[in-house]
C-alpha cells in the first residue's frame, strides 16, 4: 500500500469569517511578524489576491511581495489589508506590568494642553495606565 502526501494549504479550509478571524488571531498571538504576514497572505489568497489588493488600494504584485516570507510589509499596509479583509486589530492587555499602576484622568497632575479636551474624561479609570517610574 502506497501512502501519498499533499501539501496542506489553509486556504482550502476557510469556510466562514469566524474561521478566518480565528486563524489570524492565532498568528497574531504567536507574535512572529513573518507568520502574521504569511497568515494575511493565506487569507488574501482565499479571498482573491486581486480583489484584496484593489480593496486595499495596493497593486497585486506589491501585495504578494509585502506578504511573502521575505516581504517587509509596513504597518500601514497591514492595516489596509486587514480592512480589505473585513477585520481589525483590537488591542488587549497581556498582563499587569510591574512599575505600572492604574490611574484615572483626575489623578494626572500634568496640565491639560490649551484647546484640547482630555480624552480620558468619562472613561473607566481601569482603561488608563501611567508609568510610575522612569529610568533616564
Stretch 52-67: mean pLDDT = 95
CA neighbours closer than 13 Å in the CB half-sphere of residue 46: 21
Angle between helices 75-85 and 49-56 (to 10 degrees): 120
- Rounded CA gap, 84 and 128, in Å? 30
**One domain for residues 71 and 30:** yes
Total of domains in the chain: 2
Stretch 60-71: mean pLDDT = 91
Within-domain flag for 90: no
- Rounded CA gap, 62 and 46, in Å? 17
**One domain for residues 99 and 62:** no
What domain range includes position 130? 95-108+122-136
In the block, cell 478571524 appears at 21
Residue 44 and residue 67 in contact, taking contact as beta carbons nearer than 8 Å = yes
Within-domain flag for 3: no
pLDDT in tens, 7-50: 989 999 999 999 999 999 999 999 899 999 999 999 999 999 99
pLDDT in tens, 75-127: 999 999 999 999 999 888 887 666 665 655 555 555 555 544 444 444 443 44
Amino acid at each position: 500500500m502506497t501512502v501519498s502526501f499533499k501539501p496542506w494549504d489553509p486556504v482550502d479550509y476557510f469556510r466562514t469569517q469566524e474561521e478566518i478571524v480565528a486563524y489570524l488571531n492565532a498568528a497574531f498571538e504567536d507574535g512572529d511578524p513573518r507568520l502574521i504576514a504569511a497568515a494575511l497572505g493565506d487569507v488574501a489568497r482565499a479571498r482573491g489576491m486581486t480583489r484584496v489588493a484593489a480593496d486595499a488600494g495596493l497593486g497585486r504584485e506589491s501585495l504578494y511581495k509585502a506578504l511573502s516570507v521575505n516581504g517587509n510589509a509596513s504597518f500601514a499596509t497591514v492595516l489596509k489589508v486587514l480592512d480589505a479583509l473585513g477585520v481589525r486589530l483590537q488591542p488587549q492587555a497581556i498582563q499587569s506590568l510591574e512599575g505600572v499602576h492604574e490611574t484615572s484622568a483626575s489623578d494626572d497632575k500634568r496640565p491639560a494642553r490649551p484647546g484640547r479636551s482630555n480624552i480620558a474624561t468619562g472613561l473607566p479609570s481601569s482603561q488608563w495606565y501611567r508609568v510610575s517610574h522612569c529610568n533616564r
